[in-house]
Amino acid sequence: MEFKNNIYLPPMARESSIDGKITDALIDYYESMAKLGFGLIILEHAYVDIKGKASPKQMAIDENYDRENLIKIKDVIHKEEAKAFMQISHCGRLTRLDGEKFGPTKEDGVSELSVDQIKDIEDKFIEAGKRVKDMGFDGLEIHCAHGYLLNQFYSPLVNKRDDEYGGSLENRLRVLLEILKKMRRALGDFPIMVRLGACDYEEGGNTIDDAIKAVKVMEEYIDFIDISGGINGFMKHSDNDIGYFTKESKAIKENTKVKVLMTGGIKNKKEAEELISEGACHMVGIGRASLNKDFTLE
């Protein structure tokens, strides 16, 4: 896939949906971002299952998705010759909604997912992927970062299961891999990206070596890997003021055949281009800085 440049807008939750439906304000936001000149725009996370909805104003990609307005968002992005990916997610135990919470392992206030429930969630990811492709998006991103459900399974700090979905790195990745295999069968060569919380940044958690192994296992089924980190959410975890995850991203890039994306602390085009020239990644995301009124990619 070709992009008009190597700078992308990472997914940032705008909390501008009502009952999963898109508001005009959200369409206007993506139109304004597309006009800044990004080569790729990744939409904020959309829930594949109402039980995995993170917050009241998160948008949907479950069976009640807002097809008409999601297509409008895709169209305003394409109008500026940028590619449009949708990020799809299940937040697991992190839901802020009332009701039962689910995760890989039983803990206070959280029920352990059964194997049947895991399979059902996998199927919901696949159905969501079909919707994304059918609407004419250019690709999709599966959210496995920032403490969301697939990241919960990946992390040994959260996943304490003793069945085939817990224990070894291979087992902790099993849910994600099953989704990827099913997704690839269902979608053919449709571009698939994973946003990976590469390292947990806590004692006993996933390390760079684990992340490299994880990407090597996934690379047969994906086209892009989007590097982030932190089992307790996205935050600065290094001494780098520019490119928080540079060390992790570069190590992964050196050990995989898929294209590597990275965001975190990058404020302008010059910084982005420097990181790419240094071999940190193939594409650089500029998030919060893009919200500044004087931001430009010119």
Confidence category of residue 1, pLDDT binned at 50, 70, 90:
very high
pTM above 0.75, yes or no: yes
The CATH number given to whatever domain includes residue 129 is 3.20.20.70
Which of 8, 30, 148, 221 is an active site residue?
Answer: 148
Beta-bridge mates of residue 196: 144, 227
Please tell me the distance from the alpha carbon of residue 208 to that of residue 163, in angstroms, as a whole number: 25
Q: For residue 1, is it within any domain?
A: no
State the residue range of the domain holding 72: 7-291
> How many domains does the structure of the chain reveal?
1
- Digit-coded pLDDT (tens) for 17-30: 999 999 999 999 99
Please tell me the distance from the alpha carbon of residue 25 to that of residue 296, in angstroms, as a whole number: 21
Which DSSP category does 113 fall into?
Answer: P
Radius of gyration of the chain (CA): 18
As given in the structure block, the two tokens for residue 69 are 């307005």
- Digit-coded pLDDT (tens) for 224-250: 999 999 998 766 566 667 889 999 999
Please tell me the distance from the alpha carbon of residue 221 to that of residue 229, in angstroms, as a whole number: 21
pLDDT of residue 239: 67
Per-residue b or e along 271-285, where b marks 16 or more CB atoms closer than 10 Å to that residue's CB: bbeebbeeebbbbbb
Q: For residue 220, is it within any domain?
A: yes
Q: For residue 134, is it within any domain?
A: yes
Contact 7, 283 (CB under 8 A): yes
User: Is there a catalytic annotation at residue 30?
Assistant: no
pLDDT of residue 281: 98
Task: Provide the 10 A C-beta neighbour count for residue 153.
Answer: 25
- Digit-coded pLDDT (tens) for 203-224: 999 999 999 999 999 999 999 9
Q: For residue 137, is it within any domain?
A: yes
Q: For residue 161, is it within any domain?
A: yes
Contact 19, 69 (CB under 8 A): no
Q: For residue 129, is it within any domain?
A: yes
Q: For residue 2, is it within any domain?
A: no
Q: For residue 236, is it within any domain?
A: yes
What are the Cα distances from residue 78, in Å, to 19, 30, 31, 66, 75?
A: 26, 11, 10, 18, 5
